[in-house]
Amino acid sequence: MRCPFCQSLDTKVLDTDHKAAGGTRRRRECKVCRRRFSTVERVVETMPLVIKKDGRREAFSRTKLTEGIRIACAKQPVSAEAIERLVDRVEAQVAAMNQPEVPARVIGDLVLEGLRELSKVAYIRYAIVYLNLNDLDSVKREIEKLVGSQ
């Protein structure tokens, strides 16, 4: 593994942690510059195509999923680790469906379910865009539904 700081290939593994979502986190140290860094190894699986609302198909994107969740969680007390766990969980659930194509709606529902547990504010932010809540009454109804489910 190449050191991200000095580019040396001479590194050693200090600690290994196997994540529940199927990845392996390794804590490493460069033998040249002595700096430490972490890597995450994950099996590359063939992910399904995502069927968008307009019928287009695009490759499942972990990066796009992560970015959407981060935007919803902005300025909320949600750690980067919690966001990664949610992304891991959604990605694992989509892969477990074992389908060549998955509607974007299914993925959005999984994200909403996870955000409901992480942050109510992030849930509402994501729901406004995802559910196309374009007036105050629809936002109010969604908030009432969220508060009523507690």
89-121: per-residue pLDDT in tens? Answer: 999 999 999 999 999 999 999 999 999 999 999
Whether residue 8 is found in the same domain as residue 72:
no
**pLDDT higher than 70, residue 4:** yes
**Residue 19: its pLDDT value, please?**
75
Helical residues (DSSP H) of 37-103, grouped into ranges:
62-72, 80-96
CA distances from 125 to 50, 74, 129, 140, 142 (A): 22, 10, 7, 12, 11
Interval 34-43 mean pLDDT? 89
Q: Which domain holds residue 69?
A: 46-148
**Residue 44: its pLDDT value, please?**
66
Whether residue 76 is found in the same domain as residue 65:
yes
**pLDDT higher than 80, residue 22:** no
Query: Max Cα separation, the chain?
Result: 60
Whether residue 27 is found in the same domain as residue 57:
no
Taking the model in full, what pTM does it have? 0.67
Whether residue 50 is found in the same domain as residue 5:
no
Which tens digit of pLDDT belongs to each residue from 42-88? 776 688 999 999 999 999 999 999 999 999 999 999 999 999 999 99
**pLDDT higher than 90, residue 15:** yes
Tally the domains of the chain. 2
Structure tokens at 47: 């992910």
Report the range of poorest mean pLDDT among 2-6, 50-54, 132-136. 132-136
Whether residue 88 is found in the same domain as residue 141:
yes
At which of 27, 43, 59 does a domain end?
43
Whether residue 103 is found in the same domain as residue 85:
yes
